[in-house]
Structure 1
Amino acid sequence: MNCQADKACALRIDSPSSDSSPLSLRIRFLFSLTCGLAVANVYSAQPLLESIAASMNVQSGTTGTVVTATQTGYAIGLLFLVPLGDRYNRKTLVLAQLLLSVLALTTAAFAANFMTLLGAMLLVGLMAVVAQLMVAWAATLAPPEQRGKVVGSVTSGIVLGILSARFVSGSIADLAGWRAVYLTAACLLLLVTLVLAKMMPATATATPRTSYPSMVLSLFQLFVTEPQLRKRGILALLIFAAFSMLWTSMVMPLSALSLSHTQIGLFGLAGVAGALAASRGGLWADRGMGQRASGFALALLTLCWLPIAFLNKSLLLLALGAIVLDFAVQTVHVINQSMIFAARPEAASRLVGAYMCFYSLGSALGAITATQLYALGGWHFVCYAGALVSACAFLFWLGSRHS
């Protein structure tokens, strides 16, 4: 009798309809917050480079390797850590990666020399892929009819982390120095890790126990076997190239207008409004409107470069264009993930790792292209190229939407 009662109690605890359900609004907020804090560490170094160079007596150009090390760690993690979510208990993996992130951030905060800092930032980037692992975790916890909504809400946390990272880190550094940025991040992640450990029940995966090399190899095989991944991956490459072209190069013309780092950072916060609105993309995907919403968002992405091009004449138009661009990019991003998860929910971790490879490649190509174009022809060259890439994304969607 007691045994049956215990079993019934366990079923109530694990049931999606219970108050402690992994799908509750409180848990979704916790997921979003954790993802935002984790991924922000990949981008927070950019305003700190001059301060790091001065305190460690290295050349300003050398400190750029801090960003490179972080991004390199992130790329490695996408390929070799995220797929583990389809083999091992996701709660255990998430908590382990968060604790290692705390260790890496603390090491960065107290780094005595530049090589120690580089090693710590490589580990920071490697562990930051926990955000993508949590997106896959949330997608598998959600019932099919709510998967897009859940993915959208968790992805919003990632976008908020990316857009606010530079502004927040620059503000903290102005008040207490660059080391305080990483120490603050470590404390916040440790706190959220303890809360996550207490609130989330352990969840096992239904995937058979295959070897680790086989799991990683299967990630690459998904590029061949999943047409939805290929189509949505190409869209991701193009839209994040456009996204990176704006946010990487925008600092140069704004600096030429004598805006401070804090003022420039405020434009990142303006983009938050568009990113938050884009969380509805998941709802549209759940209602079978993902394709039409993608086309609408891609058309907006192409048109938004017109107000952005008037940066030298109106900062208000720039802010408006940035909001629309973020809305368009994140809407397509959320729909992309919802659609690829729907195809193979049991391979959610490997799918998100494979998909984010397109994201990383697009972001890198956009950043390199924008800085070169700005040096060659100024802001208008960047805007022409951004509009062209966005138009290519729209045309690709138009040609592939029925295939």
Structure 2
Amino acid sequence: MSHVIPVRGSPQGLPGWQVALFTAGTGLSVANVYYAQPLLDTLGTTYGLRSASLGTVIFATQLGCLLALLFVVPLGDRLNRRWLMRWQLLALIASLLLVAVAPSATMLMLAMLLTGLTGTAMTQGMIAFAAAAAPEETRGQTVGAVSAGVVVGLLLARVFAGAVSDIAGWRSVYLSSALMMTLLASVLWRRLPDIPRQISDGGPAPLVALWRLLRQHRQLQIRGVLALLMFASFAIFWSALVLLLTPSPWNLSHGQIGALGLVGAVSALIASRAGRRVDRGLALSNTRFALMILLLSWLPLWLGESSLLLLIIGIFMLDAGGQALHVTSQSVLLSGRNGAGSQLIAAYMLFYSAGSGLGALISTQAFAYGGWSAVCLAGAITSLLALIFGLRTQSHEVKNG
């Protein structure tokens, strides 16, 4: 059996500047996974991709995320985290440069896969890093704060990608991101805290450990299925939005479409509060509320096909419900664990990648063959399944929480 080494932060918690550093790192890293969403129509034009197959760009990125969760993120429990973060940053910068110069659709898909791999490894590694360094008393709050960086990163990614693309073309989005990640690397190289490995040599291989967690950890199974359905709902909406708003009668630019991501930025505050409520034992009420908001969001989103106000209301509800659920699930899973946090997060986020990839494929197919109504129907059905599953499994979480 593996030997778990307890790792605790100071009783007062992590210094504010370290939490801010983790938060900024996760936000900038996760943004790289989402830059392509508001650019799908332009990528299709550049590489001759049909609208129904545009989801493969997002799917390739999510496949990279899946590989990161299987093979890279769990290494954080076995290697020196600071050393691992440094090399992951360099690999991410190289992947972004490859996207920027990709000459063909095949090379683009490969570069997107590598970007998903390295971006996810950085993002989830930073969350596990922060959880390992934080004391148990404030772990949920810390995870909530750092995860809020993920929320802001993925939302502002769309704003940044749209605005930069309108000014200097889509390739400049990835060149600019490579520059930002280089600046981040110059800070993280010296400022990351140094903590011991959490699993000593001699434990099971990472894939074996992940399989054991997935097979034996009932709460992980529950939270994982909820993550799969929730992130599928996210991907169904965001992957089709640019296809709705770019042509007539909307005729919006990429910058204007990306700016809609700002609507959900307030959900970062809700996500942070969700972590605090988990520390107070309110995880199940968080989950119920988040799932209901997620489902209800699809009514204004559907009506928003011809109303910008209703579309904005729906985006706020979708992001607030989804991110509150995500932070709650991560906080619940990490609560009471002083070791193997990277393995647990990797196992949980496998469901995220599967949901995001499948959602993107469903989204572009639904829009191609049934328009916006078909997209919203697919999203509503997915959210309804999440609500039903969440309510049916609550009794188990009460017994084992």
TM-score bracket for this pair, using the shorter chain length: 0.7 to 0.9
Contact between 2:333 and 2:344, CA under 8 Å: does it hold in 1?
Answer: yes
Contact between 1:49 and 1:60, CA under 8 Å: does it hold in 2?
Answer: no
| Worse overlay, 265-274 or 58-67 | 58-67
Query: Please, which of 79, 96, 100 is the counterpart of residue 105 of structure 1?
Result: 96
Aligned to 1:335: 328
1:251-270 correspondence runs (5 A): 251-255=242-246, 256-260=248-252, 261-270=254-263
Quick one: distance in 1 between partners of 2:273 and 2:303? 29
Query: Please, which of 143, 152, 158 is the counterpart of residue 144 of structure 2?
Result: 152
State the 1:374 CA deviation. 3.3
Aligned to 1:279: 272
Aligned to 1:11: none
Does residue 231 of the first structure (1) align with residue 222 of the second (2)?
Answer: yes
Contact between 1:370 and 1:382, CA under 8 Å: does it hold in 2?
Answer: yes
Quick one: distance in 2 between partners of 1:379 and 1:291? 33
Contact between 1:279 and 1:330, CA under 8 Å: does it hold in 2?
Answer: no
The amino acid of 2:284's aligned partner reads Q
Query: Please, which of 236, 243, 256 is the counterpart of residue 245 of structure 1?
Result: 236
Q: 1:70–1:313: structure 2 CA closer, same or farther, 3 Å change rule?
A: closer
1:76-98 C-alpha deviation (Å, 9 max, x unpaired): 11110011011011111111101
Quick one: distance in 2 between partners of 1:392 and 1:84? 33
Contact between 1:86 and 1:349, CA under 8 Å: does it hold in 2?
Answer: yes
1:12-23 correspondence runs (5 A): 16=10, 23=14
Q: 1:41–1:293: structure 2 CA closer, same or farther, 3 Å change rule?
A: same
Query: Please, which of 21, 25, 31 is the counterpart of residue 22 of structure 2?
Result: 31
Q: 1:165–1:287: structure 2 CA closer, same or farther, 3 Å change rule?
A: same
The amino acid of 1:59's aligned partner reads G
TM-score, L = length of structure 2? 0.87
Quick one: distance in 1 between partners of 2:104 and 2:382? 41
Quick one: distance in 2 between partners of 1:299 and 1:63? 30
The amino acid of 1:218's aligned partner reads A
Quick one: distance in 1 between partners of 2:355 and 2:57? 20
State the 1:332 CA deviation. 0.7
State the 1:259 CA deviation. 3.0
The amino acid of 2:371's aligned partner reads G
Q: 1:228–1:63: structure 2 CA closer, same or farther, 3 Å change rule?
A: closer
Quick one: distance in 1 between partners of 2:150 and 2:112? 19
State the 1:200 CA deviation. 2.1
SS in 1 for 2:340: helix
TM-score, L = length of structure 1? 0.87
1:113-150 C-alpha deviation (Å, 9 max, x unpaired): 66655544332222112100111111111112211111
| Worse overlay, 318-327 or 296-305 | 296-305
Quick one: distance in 2 between partners of 1:315 and 1:33? 31
Higher relative contact order (CA 8 A, sep 6+): 2
Does residue 361 of the first structure (1) align with residue 354 of the second (2)?
Answer: yes
What percentage of aligned pairs have identical amino acids? 43
State the 1:249 CA deviation. 2.1
| Worse overlay, 94-103 or 69-78 | 69-78
Does residue 59 of the first structure (1) align with residue 51 of the second (2)?
Answer: no
| Worse overlay, 364-373 or 82-91 | 364-373
Quick one: distance in 1 between partners of 2:243 and 2:154? 19
Aligned to 1:9: none
State the 1:380 CA deviation. 2.9
Quick one: distance in 1 between partners of 2:257 and 2:94? 31
- Structure 2: state its 5+ residue gaps: 1-7, 397-401
State the 1:66 CA deviation. 5.0
Quick one: distance in 2 between partners of 1:36 and 1:24? 19
1:260-301 C-alpha deviation (Å, 9 max, x unpaired): 222222222212222332221100111111111111111122
1:126-205 correspondence runs (5 A): 126-129=117-120, 130-205=122-197
State the 1:251 CA deviation. 2.6
Quick one: distance in 2 between partners of 1:49 and 1:320? 24
SS in 2 for 1:250: helix
1:24-79 C-alpha deviation (Å, 9 max, x unpaired): 22211211111121121122134445656777xx4244987654443322221111
SS in 2 for 1:309: helix
Aligned to 1:221: 212
| Worse overlay, 89-98 or 63-72 | 63-72
The amino acid of 2:133's aligned partner reads L
Contact between 2:159 and 2:260, CA under 8 Å: does it hold in 1?
Answer: no
| Structure label with greater radius of gyration | 1
Q: 1:332–1:51: structure 2 CA closer, same or farther, 3 Å change rule?
A: closer
| Worse overlay, 134-143 or 241-250 | 241-250
Quick one: distance in 2 between partners of 1:390 and 1:115? 33
SS in 1 for 2:48: coil
Contact between 1:87 and 1:210, CA under 8 Å: does it hold in 2?
Answer: no
